[in-house]
Amino acid sequence: MSTSFQEHYPWTGRPLIASAAMGGYAGPALATAVSRAGGIGFIGALRDVAILDQQLTSAKASLQNDDLKVASESTLPIGVGFLLFATPLDDASVVIGRHKPAIIWLACPAQEQDFGTWSKAMKKVSPSSRIWIQVASVSVALRVVSTCSPDVLVMQSSDAGGHGPFPGAGIVSLVPETRDALNRGGFSEIGVFAAGGMSDGRGVAAALACGADGVVMGTLFLASKEVELPAKEFREAILKTNDGGISTARSAVFDQLAGKSFWPSEYDGRAIAGASYKDFRSGVGIEEVQNRYAIAAKEAHKGFGEEVRAAIWAGSGIGLVTEVKTAGEIVTECRDLARLCLQKAIKCL
Segment interacting with its own copies, rule: CB under 8 A, options 33-41, 92-100, 109-117, 134-142: 134-142
CB distance 93 to 122 below 8 Å: yes
Q: Which of 54, 111, 113, 139 binds its own copies (CB under 8 A)?
A: 139
Q: Which of 151, 200, 233, 255 binds its own copies (CB under 8 A)?
A: 200
Which residues from 12-31 bind its own copies, rule CB under 8 A?
A: 14-15
Could you give the CA distance from residue 63 to residue 75 in angstroms, rounded to a whole number? Answer: 12
Q: Residue 46's CB: how many other CB atoms inside 10 A?
A: 16
244 binds its own copies (CB under 8 A): yes
Could you give the CA distance from residue 305 to residue 234 in angstroms, rounded to a whole number? Answer: 7
State which H helix or E strand residue 171 sits in. Answer: helix 171-184
Nearest to 80 by CA among 112, 102, 62, 58: 102
In angstroms, give the least distance from the CB of 191 to its own copies: 12
Structure-derived torsion over alpha carbons of residues 306, 309, 314, 317, reported in degrees to the nearest 10:
50
Q: Which of 38, 39, 162, 203 binds its own copies (CB under 8 A)?
A: 203
Q: How many residues bind its own copies (CB under 8 A)?
A: 56
Nearest to 101 by CA among 156, 44, 47: 44
80 binds its own copies (CB under 8 A): no
Sketch the per residue contact string, 149 through 168, with its own copies: x for CB under 8 A, - otherwise: --------xxx-------xx
Could you give the CA distance from residue 19 to residue 182 in angstroms, rounded to a whole number? Answer: 24
Segment interacting with its own copies, rule: CB under 8 A, options 122-130, 132-140, 287-295, 297-305: 132-140
137 binds its own copies (CB under 8 A): yes
Residues found near its own copies in the complex (CB under 8 A): 14-15, 136-139, 157-159, 167-177, 180, 196-200, 202-203, 205-211, 242-246, 249, 315-320, 338-339, 341-343, 345-346, 348-349
